[in-house]
């Protein structure tokens, strides 16, 4: 039987966590546990969670260490083989786990499964991250994750819409601790080199962009963030010899450069391996 451990890191999300947990409990597929990791919340978040009377909800409390440490802690405590994630201010559609279960049954040899997702900004505007190169609802067995992103076949995986076979975290290690932004995309990238990715072109999760204590809050504005808060994208060059990884890395470096203020732009320029950057940038221009 396929069973899921749902990791829900919790830090000061009293205004949102009830709806997030309700979206899990309302799943059409019921074989799961919810591992709530209270990451040193100072509001009444934990009191809100404690109001649920469901034996599948396990609550653990630790000192505040950031979302990566909280997720890693949750993975350690998880009882089941398949690990799913939901942030405490986001939502699943009722058939999310049912959909993932079907993908696992169709491609049991993989270890990384993801659907697309819908983002919601502070004005209520929604944007579904679906691929125009695949049919709506089409499921794709992805052998080269970076290539599929570069060619526009799929979108980058979102944390709330991914499920991972637990054993693969033992191979790659967990989320990078001490990083506030990009720790999730780094995790899925590393996992993609040890497991095929199964990707469904259908949004099954709702991702709020601008809630309190959201690491992505402000991305829809012109706000700048210190570059040291981000995963050091330039290190990705060493992950693999894949030309598509190099191109994907270049894309992220350009994005980070545009996102940064003037001083951080100069710091980023000093971090870049210019041989890698220019050679693979030229390759991308000639292989469109």
pLDDT at position 263 over 90: no
Query: Same domain for 149 and 263?
Result: no
Question: Both 234 and 199 in a single domain?
Answer: no
Per-residue pLDDT, 74: 98
Distance between CA 181 and CA 219 in Å, rounded?
A: 11
Residue after which a domain boundary falls, among 208, 235, 269 = 208
- Our measurement of the distance from residue 2's CA atom to the centroid of its chain's CA atoms, rounded to an integer in Å, reads 22
Alpha helix ranges (H) inside 78-161:
96-106, 145-150
Inside any domain, residue 99: yes
158 plus 88 within the same structural domain: yes
Tell me if 30 is assigned to some domain: yes
Residues 194 and 68 in one domain: yes
- Write down the pLDDT at residue 220: 46
Per-residue model confidence as pLDDT tens digits over 60-109: 999 999 999 999 999 999 999 999 999 999 999 999 999 999 999 999 99
| End-of-domain residue from the set 152, 177, 208 | 208
Nearest-5° angle of CA 207, CA 148, CA 74? 45
Q: Among residues of the chain, what percentage have pLDDT more than 70?
A: 92
As a whole number, mean pLDDT of residues 167-178 equals: 92
- Considering the domain boundaries, does residue 121 fall inside one? yes
> pLDDT over 90 for what percent of the chain?
69
- Within-domain flag for 56: yes
Same domain, 133 and 261: no
Q: What CATH number did the domain enclosing 12 receive?
A: 3.90.550.10
* Predicted TM-score (pTM) of this structure: 0.90
Same structural domain, 177 and 233: no
Q: Are residues 196 and 244 in the same domain?
A: no
Last residue of a domain, one of 180, 208, 236: 208
Does residue 218 lie in a domain region?
no
Distances in whole angstroms, Cα of residue 274 to Cα of each of 55, 104, 227: 54, 41, 18
Q: Do 266 and 139 belong to one domain?
A: no
Q: Residue 212 — very low, low, confident or very high, per pLDDT cuts 50/70/90?
A: low
Q: Are residues 151 and 232 in the same domain?
A: no
Q: Is residue 124 part of a domain?
A: yes
Averaged confidence pLDDT in the chain: 90
Q: Are residues 137 and 88 in the same domain?
A: yes
Q: Is residue 219 one of the residues assigned to a domain? A: no
Return d(Cα 70, Cα 62) in angstroms, integer: 8
Half-sphere exposure of 281 (CA within 13 A, CB side): 12
- Residue 66 sits in the same domain as residue 155: yes
Looking at the predicted structure, is the pLDDT value of residue 196 above 70? yes
8: exposed, middle or buried (Cβ count in 10 Å: 0-12, 13-18, 19+): buried
- What pLDDT sits at residue 223? 55
Across the range 120-142, mean pLDDT stands at 91
Q: Which residues have a Cβ under 8 Å from the Cβ of 36 and sit 6 or more positions away?
A: 8, 10, 21, 49, 57, 58, 59, 60
Give domain status of residue 53, yes or no. yes
Give 55: exposed, middle or buried? Use CB within 10 Å, 0-12, 13-18, 19+: exposed
Phi, psi at 225, each rounded to 5°: -125, 145
Residue 187 to residue 166: CA distance in whole angstroms:
13
Q: In total, how many domains does the chain have?
A: 2
For 278, residues 6+ apart whose C-beta sits below 8 A from its C-beta are none
Task: Find the domain containing 51 and state its range.
Answer: 4-208
Token pair listed for 44? 């009444």
The predicted-structure confidence for 2-51, as pLDDT tens digits, reads as follows 999 999 999 999 999 999 999 999 999 999 999 999 999 999 999 999 99
Same domain, 25 and 164: yes
């Amino acid at each position: 039987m396929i069973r899921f451990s749902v990791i829900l890191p919790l830090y000061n999300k009293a205004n949102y966590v009830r709806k997030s947990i309700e979206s899990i409990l309302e799943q059409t597929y019921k074989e799961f546990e919810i591992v709530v990791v209270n990451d040193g919340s100072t509001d009444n978040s934990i009191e809100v969670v404690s109001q649920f009377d469901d034996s599948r909800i396990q609550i653990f409390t630790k000192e505040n260490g950031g979302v990566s440490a909280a997720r890693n802690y949750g993975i350690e405590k998880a009882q089941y083989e398949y690990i799913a994630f939901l942030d405490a201010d986001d939502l699943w559609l009722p058939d999310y786990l049912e959909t993932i279960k079907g993908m696992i049954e169709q491609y049991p040899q993989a270890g990384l499964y993801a659907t697309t997702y819908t983002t919601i900004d502070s004005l209520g505007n929604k944007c579904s991250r679906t691929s125009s190169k695949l049919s709506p609802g089409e499921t794709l067995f992805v052998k080269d994750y970076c290539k599929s992103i570069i060619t526009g076949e799929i979108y980058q995986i979102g944390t709330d819409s991914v499920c991972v076979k637990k054993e693969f975290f033992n191979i790659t290690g967990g989320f990078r601790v001490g990083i506030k932004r990009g720790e999730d995309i780094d995790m899925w990238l590393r996992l993609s080199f040890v497991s095929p990715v199964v990707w469904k072109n259908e949004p099954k999760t709702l991702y709020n962009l601008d809630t309190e204590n959201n690491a992505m809050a402000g991305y829809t504005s012109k706000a700048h963030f210190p570059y040291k808060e981000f995963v050091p994208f330039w290190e990705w060059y060493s992950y693999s010899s894949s030309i598509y990884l190099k191109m994907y890395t270049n894309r992220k470096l350009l994005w980070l450069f545009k996102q940064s203020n003037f001083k951080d732009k100069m710091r980023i320029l000093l971090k870049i391996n210019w041989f890698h950057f220019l050679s693979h940038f030229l390759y991308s221009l000639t292989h469109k």
